[in-house]
Structure 1
């Protein structure tokens, strides 16, 4: 499948779905993964002043939720965060220079992550899910992202997912 994705006739590299689990082992335990996710909220471009962490039950699954009051993510930045090796860090001494922290931290804590974000212009939903990749029998990582321009959001019908 990766060979079908080409740029100027050259096959692009693919990432095996097994990479998500392997990459998560860069964190020795759940506390370093949580610290990574918290650290992301304090980056200068995020500008969060508060973060809330909660544990909740959705159906029969225990879920951790992380919420902050930062600037939110545009579609472009969400795509970079859910990709591998892309760093959006700016500033004098960026911590996230490898573009790996969010993906490794979230996959250390669970098999699935859903990001809901509201920035100045965009409403975005992104998903990095080992469960989804297994269900669709993916050979490579696929990262679904849905985004809406805030000014055009009233044109869409949003459905309640959890009843």
Structure 2
């Protein structure tokens, strides 16, 4: 495997095992659920409703979390699924809850091994996948987060696909 470099200096990567290790910061599932609810409460998201549902898909219990906030475009989805990145700011004097860029990843991985994120903003529809199962299946040596986005432009859709390492 090639090591990504910047000016000849090897860049740090995260092992797929980190997804589980990071999730252990939540000692019980309700703190993980609180992380996901907190994201919807951030002032830049502007959600005023939040739903949690449980269903069974092919014999596997699945939780879904949905809010009616502003949604994520390609850049925002990539930042949200990256580790340690947060550009949250106060809106009208209301401070965001999260600031370290870790809550979604730790919370979702505490609740399950896989997270699919579907989002629709004013200008894009995106799907991102944070999946321990996928990384195990492909024998990944670093965390890879596939993201597919369709940008809405005058009824046409432009497809964006990234399969980069999360850093």
**TM-score normalized by the length of structure 2:** 0.88
**Contact 1:54/1:65 (8 A) holds in 2:** yes
Indicate the structure with greater strand content.
Answer: 2
Q: Distance in 2 between matches of 1:9 and 1:117?
A: 37
Q: What is the distance in 1 between the residues matched to 2:116 and 2:49?
A: 20
The structural deviation recorded for 1:97 is 1.5
What CA distance in whole angstroms lies between the structure 1 residues aligned with 2:63 and 2:127?
17
Tell me by how many angstroms 1:88 deviates.
Answer: 2.4
Determine the structure 2 residue equivalent to 1:68: 67
Name the structure with the higher helix share. Answer: 1
Partner Cα distance (2:52, 2:69) in 1: 14
Shift of 1:111: 0.1
Are residue 31 (structure 1) and residue 30 (structure 2) matched?
Answer: yes
Listed as ranges, the gaps of 5+ residues in structure 2 are 160-167
Q: Counterparts in 2 of 1:1-163, with a 5 A limit?
A: 1=1, 4-91=3-90, 93-151=95-153, 152-153=156-157
What are the Cα deviations for residues 92-111 of structure 1, in whole angstroms up to 9, with x where unaligned? 53321111000000000000
RMSD: 1.4
Provide the aligned length of Structure 1 versus Structure 2.
Answer: 154
The separation in 2 between residues aligned to 1:85 and 1:115, in whole angstroms, is 18
Per the TM alignment, residue 62 of structure 1 is displaced from its structure 2 partner at its CA by: 0.5
* Matching residue of 2:162: none
Gapped runs of 5+ residues in structure 1? 157-163
**8 A contact 2:38–2:98 mirrored in 1:** no
Question: 4+ residue runs of structure 1 moved beyond 3 angstroms?
Answer: none
SS of 1:64's equivalent in the other structure is strand
**1:10 CA displacement:** 1.6
